[in-house]
A and B are shown apart, each in its own frame.
Chain A
Amino acid sequence: MKKIHSIKFSRIILYIVLALGAIIMVLPFYWMIIGAFKTSAEINQFPPVWFPSSFNLDNFKFALETAPFATYFLNSLIVTFCCLICCTFTTILGAFAFSRLKFFGRDILFSLLLALMMVPFEMLIITNYRTIVSWNIHDTLFALIVPFTSSIFYTYILKNFFASIPESLYQAARIDGCSNWKYLWRIMVPIAKPALVTIILLNAIACWNSFLWPMIATNSPAVRTLPFGLYAFQTEGGALMERMMAAATLVVLPMILLFLFARKYIVNGVARGGLKG
């Protein structure tokens, strides 16, 4: 009797802690979204307004009109999409090669690649910049895509996942007449779906939010992306909080949608592709 009681009690504590954590996570987003609908009077009011009196869209309209937001948005979309396609493709092929194929110097090569991860991105900027200049793709969307068409880190994660898939599945597939290529796409990739979705999400967020490199690699507004737009907005739109909030909401919205959409796949992937024994 006493035991059941204490279990219940610790449960309640656990839920309270989890709920607090959730609130702390969500609050800034809520504040941002709600702020985007407020009037300038409401935003500076104290005590703070938790529910705006009306959902006016003026701030969004302003944000979209001030900076060439539509262009930025489209550029961000193109860059993120291309990076995701290329990077996911090379990651899958690399992970397969390093986990299943046997070739001379495989493990040494992979250790070298891993060692490259120690080099911070800021240091690579100089060499990357020189490369895009010499390729003459400076100040184009290509400059924003080419350096991100592969990732050692994601390859490493996926390689480990691939390596955990039993060898006997590979042998079974070969007996069934399957080539390496088909085995990769029909067996390994579907099984690795949860890991892949995670990688794609992380990558999408990184691409979407990338700021430093686009700042350096591009000059003209025609090829700049959303994070820069947000930055420009601060100076051009004046320090009006409610408008900043609207712009930020516009920037973050696609990522939130993507996350909500992918959540189902993560859960499904784990439930369906889970390996037994």
Chain B
Amino acid sequence: MKITIENLTKQFDNHLAVNNFSAQIESGQLVSLLGPSGCGKSTMLNMLSGILTPSQGKIWFDEDDVTDVAAEKRGVGLVFQNYALYPHMTVLENICFPLEIQRVPKAERIARAKEMAQLVHVEDLLDRLPKQMSGGQQQRVAIARALVKKPRLLLLDEPLSNLDARLRIEMREEIRRIQQSIGITTIFVTHDQEEAMSISDAIILMKQGVLQQMDKPQELYDQPKNCFVADFLGNPTINKLNAVYEGGRLLVEGMPCDIETSSVPASAPLYLSCRVESVLINQKPSSIKGTIIDTYVIGKENIANIQVGNSRVRAYIDSDSALRPTEEVTLSFKNKGVFLFDANSGERYI
């Protein structure tokens, strides 16, 4: 099912939680709604599910305007952050519940519930109560309960945030597998960019209730529309250097830089942002100099911390590199993964 969101706005008493949000989600896709805590992701999801009524704007499921349709009639599946399983019902009863409400005959609903339990691999736990299960198991049950009534849209609100790191990776792959196997349009809320990058067909990045960019994960990483998007994605986070355009050339931390620029306003404060993998050390002649502060290893990566003017830059180095702290180095940049932003508006120039 295709979802169309049109100028959606939600105003709480004195707080604009979602602001003029428009997007289109193609049928069968898994789209992540990504953003820092409190940026309005849950509010957005709750408006899609019908729990919250929008202050303004419209929601379309395919060709139907569902803006005023009540939650119980929308036919969406929703997995809550805390799973919200019914504590007094067993796993089987929990999964059966939506069908029971629809008055599906008992034999059929048990058959369908068992089928769902198999899909999410909880078929051995049918007699357990929620409190007798681990977080990961509860979450699988919550997904089964959301899917059993064959919704046209599956919504997941930070479903992995209560799990430990290893289980999180396992479960996100599970979610992707289940989503692919039934081809259901899915919106997945998370504040973890890595999670979003790893499972989504597309990512919607939000900040303070405003949509920043919607794109394929790699596009979002390679072509951020503004400074916030560039900062939010990537681990380690992108390097940010103070820059200014003066006398027809770009000065980075006061040092001239040979990056091609055009149509940049003169004297305005800028950021030159470069991905960690786009920084080259001592490879090309350049007038940008820095001092090594320290070097460290994360997993298989060797990273150097470099002081450049008033900023810190991180760069990958060879594992056999002889770079030592206090050593002076020359920095240059690859063509890819280097962006120039307006420091105030965040607007991107290159």
Contact A174/B87 with A166-B82, A277-B82 known, Cβ cut-off 8 Å: no
Asked whether any CB of chain B lies closer than 8 Å to the CB of A16, the reply is no
A contact residues vs B (CB 8 Å cutoff): 166, 168-169, 171-179, 182, 186-187, 190-191, 193, 272-277
Whether B82 lies near A177 (C-beta < 8 A) is no
Whether A171 lies near B71 (C-beta < 8 A) is yes
Q: Note all chain A residues with C-beta closer than 8 A to B80.
A: 168, 171-172
Question: What is the CA–CA distance of A176 and B51 in the complex, to the nearest angstrom?
Answer: 12
* Total cross-chain contacts (CB, 8 A): 71
Stretch at the interface among B97-105, B193-201, B250-258: B97-105
Whether B149 lies near A177 (C-beta < 8 A) is yes
Whether B82 lies near A168 (C-beta < 8 A) is yes
**A214 CB, min distance to chain B CBs, angstroms:** 38
7 pairs, A vs B, C-beta closer than 8 Å: A168-B82, A171-B78, A174-B51, A176-B72, A178-B72, A191-B86, A273-B88
Whether B86 lies near A187 (C-beta < 8 A) is yes
B contact residues vs A (CB 8 Å cutoff): 46, 49-51, 70-73, 75-78, 80, 82, 84, 86-88, 97-98, 101-102, 129-131, 145-146, 149
Whether B72 lies near A276 (C-beta < 8 A) is no
Contact A176/B97 with A168-B82, A171-B71 known, Cβ cut-off 8 Å: yes
Whether B98 lies near A176 (C-beta < 8 A) is yes
- What residue of chain A has the Cβ atom nearest to residue B146's Cβ? A175
Q: Note all chain A residues with C-beta closer than 8 A to B131.
A: 274, 276
Whether A177 lies near B88 (C-beta < 8 A) is no
**B47 CB, min distance to chain A CBs, angstroms:** 13
Q: A-side binding surface: helix, strand, loop or mixed?
A: helix
Which residue, A171, A176, A179, has most C-beta atoms of chain B within 10 A?
A176
Question: What is the CA–CA distance of A187 and B84 in the complex, to the nearest angstrom?
Answer: 12
Which residue, B72, B76, B130, B145, has most C-beta atoms of chain A within 10 A?
B72
Whether B129 lies near A168 (C-beta < 8 A) is no
- What residue of chain A has the Cβ atom nearest to residue B151's Cβ? A175
Question: What is the CA–CA distance of A175 and B97 in the complex, to the nearest angstrom?
Answer: 11
Question: What is the CA–CA distance of A172 and B98 in the complex, to the nearest angstrom?
Answer: 10
Contact A177/B84 with A171-B71, A274-B131, A276-B130 known, Cβ cut-off 8 Å: no
- What residue of chain B has the Cβ atom nearest to residue A178's Cβ? B101
Which residue, A186, A273, A274, has most C-beta atoms of chain B within 10 A?
A186
Q: Note all chain B residues with C-beta closer than 8 A to A274.
A: 87, 131
Contact A272/B82 with A171-B71, A176-B145, A177-B101 known, Cβ cut-off 8 Å: no
Question: What is the CA–CA distance of A273 and B131 in the complex, to the nearest angstrom?
Answer: 10
**B309 CB, min distance to chain A CBs, angstroms:** 48
Question: What is the CA–CA distance of A246 and B77 in the complex, to the nearest angstrom?
Answer: 62
Pairs of residues from A and B, 8 with the lowest C-beta to C-beta distance, nearest first: A176-B98, A168-B84, A172-B84, A174-B71, A177-B101, A190-B88, A175-B78, A177-B72
Contact A276/B76 with A174-B51, A177-B149 known, Cβ cut-off 8 Å: no
Q: Note all chain B residues with C-beta closer than 8 A to A190.
A: 88
Q: Note all chain A residues with C-beta closer than 8 A to B102.
A: 177
Q: Note all chain B residues with C-beta closer than 8 A to A179.
A: 72
Whether A175 lies near B72 (C-beta < 8 A) is yes
Whether A273 lies near B87 (C-beta < 8 A) is yes
Q: Note all chain A residues with C-beta closer than 8 A to B51.
A: 171, 174-175
Whether B78 lies near A276 (C-beta < 8 A) is no
Question: What is the CA–CA distance of A175 and B88 in the complex, to the nearest angstrom?
Answer: 18
Whether B101 lies near A176 (C-beta < 8 A) is yes
Q: Note all chain A residues with C-beta closer than 8 A to B88.
A: 187, 190-191, 193, 272-273
Q: Note all chain A residues with C-beta closer than 8 A to B129.
A: 272
Whether B72 lies near A174 (C-beta < 8 A) is yes
Question: What is the CA–CA distance of A129 and B297 in the complex, to the nearest angstrom?
Answer: 86
Whether A182 lies near B101 (C-beta < 8 A) is yes
**B285 CB, min distance to chain A CBs, angstroms:** 60
Question: What is the CA–CA distance of A179 and B73 in the complex, to the nearest angstrom?
Answer: 10
Question: What is the CA–CA distance of A217 and B76 in the complex, to the nearest angstrom?
Answer: 57
**B112 CB, min distance to chain A CBs, angstroms:** 14
Question: What is the CA–CA distance of A176 and B145 in the complex, to the nearest angstrom?
Answer: 8
Question: What is the CA–CA distance of A187 and B77 in the complex, to the nearest angstrom?
Answer: 18
- What residue of chain A has the Cβ atom nearest to residue B74's Cβ? A175
Question: What is the CA–CA distance of A90 and B86 in the complex, to the nearest angstrom?
Answer: 24
